[in-house]
Amino acid sequence: MIFSKTYEVESDESLLNAALAGDRKALEVLVSKHQHFLYNVSLRLFLNPEDALDATQEVWIKVLNKLQSFQRKSQFRTWLYRIAVNHFLNAPKKKMELLLEYPAKGLGGFTEDEIQDETVVEEVRLMCSTAMLMCLTREQRLLYIIGEIFGADHQLGAALFELSPANYRVKLHRAKADLLQFVAGRCGLVDPQNPCRCPKKAKVMVQQGWVNPENLLFNAHFSAQVKNLVEERRYQVSDEIQLRMKALFRESPFQIHQELDQLLLELAQRL
């Protein structure tokens, strides 16, 4: 796992040395190790797959252009994701950020009927759970995505956001508390007492054009779930709903975007 304590930074170093010496294959391997993690962070931040793809490509253009000047004052992983964090935080607002002042705005209410197509219901679950993050500021979303969903430890998280570990923990705690306050009273997957149910929500979202059963954006092109890529650690958390909420986001698929492979291969070949 890219953000775990057990990540082997030595392999990055050897690939980087070879890449800087002109080994194009080593550069391609180095990029391939990180490209889909960057894309999945971007996808959860910006919600729209094409915006996420564009933002990921923009980060890699910056990284590859700066590679020769990398001074090794930090690990390559830290340097790479710090560039990504700064780029994501300062990028212009994306279409879903402009469209959603808070999750599920404009999605309407519910109907008594339910959609039975499991792939459509799963698409709604993934889209809606990701959209819940829109109740947070962009910085809070990114803190929660990296620290809670992908499980970065506090030392690495602090380095990526250029904060002290104590300040990082405070900011992450506030993001978790704000998200919990919003989600706890809405999502039936987090709290069974809540009214929202994906099969009923699905019909409304299809009717209003938010979900196209013929062109699924979230329930496609994935090889694993995020939870399978995260190093599980046990924290003493008194609020069971907080645990359910984290589990909900970690159930989301880890997306593999083939177009990203081709785009970055072409970028690497130009160097």
**Which of 52-66, 94-108, 170-184 shows the lowest per-residue confidence on average (mean pLDDT)?**
94-108
pTM of the model: 0.82
User: What helix, strand, coil percent values describe the chain, rounded to 5?
Assistant: 65, 5, 35
Over 80: is that where the pLDDT of 65 sits? yes
Domain range for 108 is 9-270
What CATH number corresponds to the domain at position 104? Answer: 1.20.140.160
Grade residue 265 by pLDDT with cuts at 50, 70 and 90: confident
Domain assignment present for residue 160? The answer is yes
Residues 70-122 have pLDDT tens digits of 888 899 999 999 999 999 999 998 877 777 654 444 444 555 677 778 888 88
Buried b (16+ CB within 10 A) or exposed e, 108-121: eeeeeeebeeeebb
Q: Taking the CB of residue 183, how many other CB atoms lie within 10 A of it?
A: 25
Over 70: is that where the pLDDT of 237 sits? no
Residue 2 CA to residue 76 CA, distance in Å, equals 12
Grade residue 238 by pLDDT with cuts at 50, 70 and 90: very low
Over 50: is that where the pLDDT of 22 sits? yes
Domain assignment present for residue 3? The answer is no
Mean pLDDT of 237-247: 70
Residue 104 CA to residue 197 CA, distance in Å, equals 13
Whether the CB-CB separation of 41 and 84 falls below 8 Å is answered with yes
Domain assignment present for residue 39? The answer is yes
Where are the extended beta strands (E) located within the chain?
222-225, 253-255
Domain assignment present for residue 137? The answer is yes
The number of CA neighbours under 13 Å toward the Cβ of 145 is: 32
Q: Which helix (H) or strand (E) holds 96?
A: helix 95-99
Over 50: is that where the pLDDT of 249 sits? yes
DSSP 215: S
Domain assignment present for residue 4? The answer is no
Number of domains in the chain: 1
